[in-house]
């Protein structure tokens, strides 16, 4: 499990590791870093992530400390890029294919190409932050195949289920794997001694914790299995393609009685149908016989909650409680700083450095030039250089001088506001506890009739 970047990411981004390109707060792109790309064989740049903020050859990402800001490379507009990237037959084919995807007839097509080339010029000034994957970031960036459980919900659920390193957790349905990743990290017991030669199922689970995951939609199960392997989580997460309501919680190749789960999370449309397979009644019960079982179901409708609770009551579950998480994001930022006096009109979002401020100015000027070239005479006149106006280079120098030494990120009044109250309801969480089983043997042990087991 040492190879899972979700558990041990190391100081630097490594080849073949999953990485997250953070473009802006709500725009994150997961990518596996490849120093080799079969589409660009023979070129040292490796795979290229093309984003709306520019192109990022993986050679500029691999080996870089996590958290670094990485500038886009000019692979679309520069001469190096043009020769390097388009000289190859396969790449040309790929470009043609993607062009074909975007293809529109006549004038419409021409306009689109023009817009794209402007976008490429702008993109060259972009950057991303290179982040290691965490369950939280994965949740924000994963390809959605279903509704997913979000961080405010799953952090509370894992806490209420008392999930700690070593916990054995049953999860159904796995869906897009958002909860699965968070659960895998929570049960992972990386601090235990791994040198033991005892590799029985029981001891592996005790050392590592385990997520026994179930999904009955074939394609979703296949895709999640691929992700689990790609993310190095196989061994911690065991995914089974199964209908848990009909066929119970027996994983592939493992008798249910070996699971000995002590936490359960059900994100199913009809959790009450699965509950009949989560009792201690049968000898093939997947539940731990010696610990209390903590359960959570996740249902969007109150009618589902009512049916679940009725079933829980009749099956001996206790401490039944329903909770709804209403998470609000509060945006904290600095008020815009007016830099017009330094000639920085339009550069007012507290740029992080002088270089960035100048970069932004160039961007604003570039946009203005494009606008003027399109024939807006009024704009042309208003901004045409007068005799007294200094050269652009001189102007940039003046700005650099004016900003030198200033901590722009600290300027402006700190303000906060709650984000608009969009629909915050995700689902109702029903929690319950099944007390530990108590056999005659346990009773005799409690009365001191037998010596305690080692």
Q: Which chain residues interact with ligand SAM by CB under 6 A? A: 146-149, 172-179, 214-217, 220, 243-245, 267-269
Compare residues 267 and 356 and give the one whose CB is closer to ligand SAM: 267
DSSP assignment of 250-285 = --TTS-GGGT-B-EEEE--S-HHHHHTTSSSSSTT-
Answer for the pair 56, 73: CB distance below 8 angstroms, yes or no: yes
Compare residues 14 and 243 and give the one whose CB is closer to ligand SAM: 243
Shortest Å, Cβ 197 to ligand SAM: 36
Answer for the pair 319, 431: CB distance below 8 angstroms, yes or no: yes
Q: Angle 434-439-442 (CA atoms, 0-180°, nearest 5)?
A: 105
Compare residues 68 and 147 and give the one whose CB is closer to ligand SAM: 147
Shortest Å, Cβ 219 to ligand SAM: 10
Shortest Å, Cβ 298 to ligand SAM: 7
Shortest Å, Cβ 34 to ligand SAM: 26
Compare residues 210 and 220 and give the one whose CB is closer to ligand SAM: 220
Compare residues 76 and 171 and give the one whose CB is closer to ligand SAM: 171
Compare residues 157 and 403 and give the one whose CB is closer to ligand SAM: 157
Shortest Å, Cβ 182 to ligand SAM: 8
Cα(97)–Cα(90) distance, rounded to whole angstroms? 11
Is the alpha carbon torsion for 83, 85, 88, 91 positive or negative?
Answer: negative
Closest CA to 356 of 339, 379, 373: 339
Is the alpha carbon torsion for 227, 130, 84, 115 positive or negative?
Answer: positive
394 by Cβ neighbours in 10 Å (0-12 / 13-18 / 19+) ranks as exposed
Residue 333 pairs with which residues in a beta bridge? 415
Compare residues 199 and 219 and give the one whose CB is closer to ligand SAM: 219
Shortest Å, Cβ 269 to ligand SAM: 6
Compare residues 88 and 217 and give the one whose CB is closer to ligand SAM: 217
Cα(128)–Cα(415) distance, rounded to whole angstroms? 25
Shortest Å, Cβ 220 to ligand SAM: 5
Which residues does 343 contact at the CB level (< 8 Å), separation at least 6? 395, 398, 399, 402
Which residues does 182 contact at the CB level (< 8 Å), separation at least 6? 135, 136, 139, 149, 151, 154, 155, 158
Compare residues 46 and 175 and give the one whose CB is closer to ligand SAM: 175
Closest CA to 174 of 160, 154, 194, 198: 154
Answer for the pair 20, 30: CB distance below 8 angstroms, yes or no: yes
Write the DSSP symbol of residue 214: E
Tokens of 13: 């981004």
Q: Angle 325-327-328 (CA atoms, 0-180°, nearest 5)?
A: 160
Percent of the chain that is helix, strand, coil (3-state, to 5): 40, 20, 45
Shortest Å, Cβ 276 to ligand SAM: 12
Compare residues 126 and 175 and give the one whose CB is closer to ligand SAM: 175
Answer for the pair 206, 166: CB distance below 8 angstroms, yes or no: yes
Shortest Å, Cβ 274 to ligand SAM: 6
Shortest Å, Cβ 174 to ligand SAM: 6
- Name the closest residue to ligand SAM (Cβ): 173
């Amino acid at each position: 499990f040492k190879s899972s970047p979700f558990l041990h990411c190391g100081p630097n981004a490594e080849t073949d590791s999953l990485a997250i390109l953070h473009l802006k707060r709500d725009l994150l792109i997961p990518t596996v870093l490849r120093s080799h790309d079969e589409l660009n064989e023979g070129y040292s740049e490796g795979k290229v992530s093309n984003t709306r903020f520019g192109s990022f050859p993986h050679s500029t990402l691999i080996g870089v400390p996590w958290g670094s800001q990485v500038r886009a490379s000019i692979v679309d507009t520069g001469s190096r890029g043009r020769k390097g990237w388009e000289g190859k037959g396969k790449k040309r084919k790929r470009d043609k294919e993607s062009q074909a995807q975007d293809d529109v007839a006549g004038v419409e097509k021409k306009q689109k190409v023009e817009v794209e080339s402007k976008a490429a010029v702008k993109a060259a000034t972009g950057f991303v932050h290179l982040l290691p994957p965490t369950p939280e970031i994965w949740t924000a960036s994963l390809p959605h195949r279903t509704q997913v459980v979000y961080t405010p919900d799953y952090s509370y659920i894992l806490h209420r289920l008392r999930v700690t390193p070593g916990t054995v957790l049953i999860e159904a349905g796995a869906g897009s794997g958002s909860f699965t990743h968070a659960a895998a990290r929570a049960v992972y017991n990386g601090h235990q001694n791994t040198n033991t030669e005892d590799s029985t199922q029981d001891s592996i689970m005790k050392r590592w914790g385990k997520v026994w995951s179930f999904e009955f939609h074939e394609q979703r199960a296949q895709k999640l299995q691929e992700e689990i392997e790609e993310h190095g989580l196989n061994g911690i997460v065991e995914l089974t393609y199964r209908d848990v309501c009909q066929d119970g919680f027996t994983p592939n190749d493992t008798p249910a009685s070996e699971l000995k789960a002590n936490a359960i999370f059900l994100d199913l449309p009809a959790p009450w149908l699965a509950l009949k397979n989560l009792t201690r009644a049968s000898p093939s019960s997947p539940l731990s016989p010696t610990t209390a079982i903590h359960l959570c179901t996740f249902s969007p409708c109150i009618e589902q909650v009512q049916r679940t609770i009725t079933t829980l009551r009749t099956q001996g579950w206790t401490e039944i409680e329903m909770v709804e998480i209403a998470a609000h994001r509060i945006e904290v930022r600095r008020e815009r700083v007016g830099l017009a006096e330094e000639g920085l009109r339009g550069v007012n979002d507290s740029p992080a450095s002088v270089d960035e401020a100048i970069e932004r100015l160039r961007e604003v000027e570039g946009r203005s030039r494009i606008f003027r070239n399109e024939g807006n005479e009024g704009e042309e006149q208003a901004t045409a250089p007068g005799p007294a106006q200094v050269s652009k280079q001189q102007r940039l120098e003046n700005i650099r001088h004016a900003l030198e030494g200033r901590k722009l990120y600290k300027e402006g009044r700190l303000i906060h506001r709650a984000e608009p109250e969009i629909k915050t309801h995700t689902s109702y969480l029903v929690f319950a506890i099944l007390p530990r089983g108590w056999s005659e043997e346990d009773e005799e042990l409690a009365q001191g009739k037998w010596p305690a087991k080692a």
